Amino acid sequence: MADDLNDTYTYPFDMPSEEAVKFSDGAIAGKPAGVPSSYAEGGSTRWTPEAISEVHALAQLGRYQVRGYNTFNKRMPTFDDLTFVPATMTRLPLEGYRESCDTTTVLGGGRGLVEKPVELKIPIYIASMSFGALSANAKASLGYGASKVGTMTCTGEGGMLEEEREASQTLLYQMSPARYRIDLDHIRRADALEIVVGQGAKPGTGGLLLGMKVSERISEMRTLPVGVDQRSTIRHPDFLGADDLAVKVEELRIATNYQVPIFLKMGATRPRYDVAIAAKAGVDVVVVDGAEGGTGASPELLLNHTGIPTMSSIRAAREALDECGMTGKVSLVAAGGIRSGVDAAKCLALGADAVMIGNGAMIALGCNSPRYYEDFARLGTAPGACHHCHTGLCPVGIATQDPELEARMDPHAGAERIARYLTAMTMEITALAKACGKSSVHNLEVEDLRAMSFEASAFTGVKMAGIDRAFDW
């Protein structure tokens, strides 16, 4: 009986197989023998098998479904809808195997207000994923792995984990509206601060950590009861609009003695306006998290039906910074659905100064890897299809607080995988940048891209392949 949020209705992966509904005379349930197979497969374009399965789930549970991971909205354009157009005659490529391409990335130094802008060796860092959503071993792995290649990781909401601080050479400390464990000592031990006003997976809604993951340690860090679902607030108690936000930013600058930059992370909804407001309020870095961004737990309807694609949010954010004279003063970080260095390079070309990766880093750690088949089966899923981070029963020890499961995640082995993944991604970015004739990855530009679909061109303003004109409204 499904009666609490930890029960999982494994839509859409538990559709009955044909064998399960076949009658002894060979007919398929609902289909008289001898009719075309399209009848059995469902002819309605509205009541598809997935739509029917979803209604069954709602009727079974009596509430919306909750799950982890990211959107299953198949109609969202992907970075594969964009292609690079390397240098040929009009431009000169760099020698890919001989010439170098700079990847140094500085975030938050543009206003000249802080003593220690974030300086990274690569234009990629690890996204904000909380201790709570992830195990301590997974958090430490991310910290060690990121440090190995000279980049940053982020605490996520819920406070600073000592293992992560120790592992991370550069640590971004996140302050969520729920104010979990906001600690002045932690603020002063951070290399940068991040105010969160939303996330791409579920903009307009606060974090969700189901009771199964609220261990004694999490409970102590967040000063909330053990085993009880934690539904974070989304509205900051300290500010309602731009003027209050400016005061908050100044307060944080004073608290850190103007040493470290202030980031602001938002879910991508109206980036053209939201980014301009954040920049005007005085933050040093704006992080725009597109609708493809992941999460440990969310109402599924928000994952699938809110937010705008990462690719369109980057263009809108860049144009907003250009229009209000903040390019060069405020850095722009893009996130949401970035799988590879190729995706990351496209984000840089669209206008991002850096990218942040979450799901990709988890997969590099071993999420959905082909092991522990029986444990995946117990969750009603299989390696490659798992989206059960919300249950706390992660078979590979990443999204869990269960000590036995967590022990499957070796922080040092995980760190090696993260370091190799980030190194490989960076090689992919530089390979593309050199092919486009750039001596720095930050010289990638929109002109280096062409759109392979009308949607991608319309969403981004990138010229269509071949005809060299953007989709014209």
For residues 362 to 401, the per-residue mask of contacts with ligand SF4, x marking binding by CB under 6 A and - elsewhere, is x----xx-----------------xxxx----xxx-xx--
Does residue 131 bind ligand SF4 (CB under 6 A)?
no
Least CB distance to ligand SF4 at residue 317 (A):
28
Nearest to ligand SF4 of 42, 380 (CB atom): 380
Nearest to ligand SF4 of 153, 426 (CB atom): 153
The β-bridge partners of 154 are 128, 172
Of the candidates 128, 144, 116, 165, the residue with the CA atom closest to the CA atom of residue 414: 144
Does residue 173 bind ligand SF4 (CB under 6 A)?
no
Nearest to ligand SF4 of 302, 396 (CB atom): 396
DSSP state of 281: T
Residues 376, 117: contact at Cβ < 8 Å? no
Torsion over CA: 242, 243, 244, 248 (sign): positive
Least CB distance to ligand SF4 at residue 404 (A):
14
Residues 220, 243: contact at Cβ < 8 Å? no
Residues 449, 440: contact at Cβ < 8 Å? no
Other beta carbons within 10 angstroms of residue 373's beta carbon come to 11
Least CB distance to ligand SF4 at residue 91 (A):
41
3-class DSSP state of 61: helix
Least CB distance to ligand SF4 at residue 419 (A):
19
Give, as ranges, the residues between 262 and 321 that touch ligand SF4 (CB under 6 A): none
SS3 content of the chain, % helix, strand, coil (to 5): 35, 15, 50
Give, as ranges, the residues between 35 and 94 that touch ligand SF4 (CB under 6 A): 68-69
The count of residues interacting with ligand SF4 (CB under 6 A) is: 14
Does residue 208 bind ligand SF4 (CB under 6 A)?
no
Nearest to ligand SF4 of 152, 389 (CB atom): 389
Q: How far is CA 35 from CA 25, 29, 31, 65, 245, in A?
A: 13, 12, 7, 35, 64
Q: Crossing angle for the helix pair 136-148 and 411-435, nearest 10 degrees?
A: 40
Does residue 210 bind ligand SF4 (CB under 6 A)?
no
Nearest to ligand SF4 of 327, 391 (CB atom): 391
Nearest to ligand SF4 of 267, 395 (CB atom): 395
The β-bridge partners of 173 are 193
Nearest to ligand SF4 of 375, 455 (CB atom): 375
Give, as ranges, the residues between 336 and 365 that touch ligand SF4 (CB under 6 A): 362
Nearest to ligand SF4 of 267, 296 (CB atom): 296
Least CB distance to ligand SF4 at residue 134 (A):
8
What DSSP string describes 129-197?
Answer: --BTTB-HHHHHHHHHHHHHTT-EEE--SS---HHHHHH-SEEEEEE-TT-TT--HHHHHH-SEEEEES
Residue 153: phi, psi to the nearest 5?
A: -130, 170
Nearest to ligand SF4 of 91, 378 (CB atom): 378
Least CB distance to ligand SF4 at residue 271 (A):
28
Least CB distance to ligand SF4 at residue 406 (A):
11
Name the one residue in this structure whose structure tokens are 């301009």.
276
Least CB distance to ligand SF4 at residue 214 (A):
16
Least CB distance to ligand SF4 at residue 156 (A):
14
Interacting residues toward ligand SF4 by CB under 6 A: 68-69, 362, 367-368, 386-389, 394-396, 398-399
